[in-house]
A = this chain, B = another copy of it.
């Protein structure tokens, strides 16, 4: 443990059970080896340094900000007192992590990220349970995906378990920022950007990993509100051989204009389609699920397969896992029908439209970290509107049962090893 970190520990607002992970290095050394990722950069001579939590330096803010009233929170507009930064350079690897007051970065105007969009990010949520314990939902999935994203865009990879330990430190330090009202949480945003001070297109010789946190309210404060989608045939989100399967910044800014086009026509978001068959792929910035009623009276829960164009969402994986455990009777989920089939398979707009016409569509919804489940009631497609049932309270029967289980596990009401206590 570095001197600066040991010194700063005295100022950390961690106590009781939240401090039990210390001493730091011991906890870190027990990290699972599966969370270890190799750098994609060739090393010459001594191996490059990986992220090392024992080198953490903490500089607490001298002037904490007043906590906002939970009722005033707007997604991603308010940030906590501190942030985590970890520099990287091609010669020495990952430098000393720092937790310091939230504030601006000094970035050279030639920084790679500002010209060539070399940025990746993750989104996670921390909850405070009834016992005051802090819980993060499946963070190992985010650490793994962040490394996959980094590799795709020639940014340095890192030890995911080490970053997670540092994120836990940051969450503990700012834990008073976690709102405790139902549906509220602390949104955690890790990002990694290329900061090379040169405008050639290539792997950067410098990068910066940082984590900021924002207290957020429920996505639907007044109950679930189904949204209308525009099945766009003008724009695409991803393509085979592209970057759709990775959580890169480049997948997001290009979607803003199509969203504005959809909004002008009275739709909240785009339903992204692929190919002449108009396969459904994603909705807005979420994965998509659809439930069909089968001829035998059973239900089929379907999401498009991970074919290289679909983001491997943590919520997507959680919905699939819960539904499959229920379908195989491994773990019954209250509210889910007994006769449930779970499929990862392509779905065309033709199939969605025909199922709507014949009354065989049960529901269609988006799934993602921010909204968790987002029900859909209408799809504009080739000039017509396709009606989608939404059920009581604006939410279909399958998604409601899955959502209840998911939120229960996220908030600690339902015990689950998906919920990691900080």
The complex places the Cα of A113 from the Cα of B121 at a distance, in Å, of 12
Kindly state whether residue A49 has any CB partner on chain B within 8 Å. no
A114 CB contacts on chain B under 8 angstroms: 113, 119, 191, 193, 249
Q: Tell me if A109 and B210 are in contact (CB < 8 A).
A: yes
A79 CB contacts on chain B under 8 angstroms: 109-110
Q: For A248, give its contact among B117, B152, B194, B214 (CB under 8 Å).
A: B117
A109 CB contacts on chain B under 8 angstroms: 79, 83, 102-105, 191, 210, 212
A240 CB contacts on chain B under 8 angstroms: 236
A259 CB contacts on chain B under 8 angstroms: 201-202
Kindly state whether residue A254 has any CB partner on chain B within 8 Å. yes
A106-B106, A239-B242 known; A153 vs B253 contact (CB < 8 Å): yes
Q: In chain A, residues 215-268, which have Cβ atoms closer than 8 Å to a Cβ of chain B? A: 232-236, 238-243, 248-250, 252-257, 259-260
Kindly state whether residue A67 has any CB partner on chain B within 8 Å. no
Residue of B nearest to A194 (CB): B253
A103 CB contacts on chain B under 8 angstroms: 109
Q: Tell me if A255 and B119 are in contact (CB < 8 A).
A: no
Interface string of A190-208 (1 = CB under 8 A from B): 0101100111111100000
A74 CB contacts on chain B under 8 angstroms: 198
Kindly state whether residue A180 has any CB partner on chain B within 8 Å. no
Residue of B nearest to A200 (CB): B76
Interface string of A377-409 (1 = CB under 8 A from B): 000000000000000000000000000000000
Kindly state whether residue A118 has any CB partner on chain B within 8 Å. yes
The complex places the Cα of A203 from the Cα of B260 at a distance, in Å, of 9
Residue of B nearest to A214 (CB): B199
Kindly state whether residue A421 has any CB partner on chain B within 8 Å. no
Q: Tell me if B256 and A201 are in contact (CB < 8 A).
A: yes
Q: Tell me if A252 and B154 are in contact (CB < 8 A).
A: no
Q: Tell me if B201 and A117 are in contact (CB < 8 A).
A: no
Q: Tell me if A110 and B76 are in contact (CB < 8 A).
A: yes
Q: For A154, give its contact among B113, B121, B257 (CB under 8 Å).
A: B257
Q: Tell me if A199 and B189 are in contact (CB < 8 A).
A: yes
Q: Tell me if A121 and B115 are in contact (CB < 8 A).
A: yes
A90 to nearest B CB, angstroms? 14
Residue of B nearest to A115 (CB): B121
A106-B106, A198-B76 known; A117 vs B260 contact (CB < 8 Å): no
Q: Tell me if B76 and A255 are in contact (CB < 8 A).
A: no
Q: For A249, give its contact among B116, B121, B233, B285 (CB under 8 Å).
A: B116
A104 CB contacts on chain B under 8 angstroms: 106-109
Q: In chain A, residues 76-114, which have Cβ atoms closer than 8 Å to a Cβ of chain B? A: 76-77, 79, 83, 102-110, 112-114
A75 CB contacts on chain B under 8 angstroms: 199-200
Kindly state whether residue A151 has any CB partner on chain B within 8 Å. yes
Q: Tell me if B106 and A199 are in contact (CB < 8 A).
A: no
The complex places the Cα of A357 from the Cα of B387 at a distance, in Å, of 56
Q: List 5 A-B contacts (CB under 8 A).
A: A79-B110, A104-B109, A115-B189, A117-B249, A234-B241
Question: 4 more A-B contacts (CB under 8 A) besides A105-B107, A105-B108?
Answer: A79-B109, A118-B253, A203-B260, A235-B241
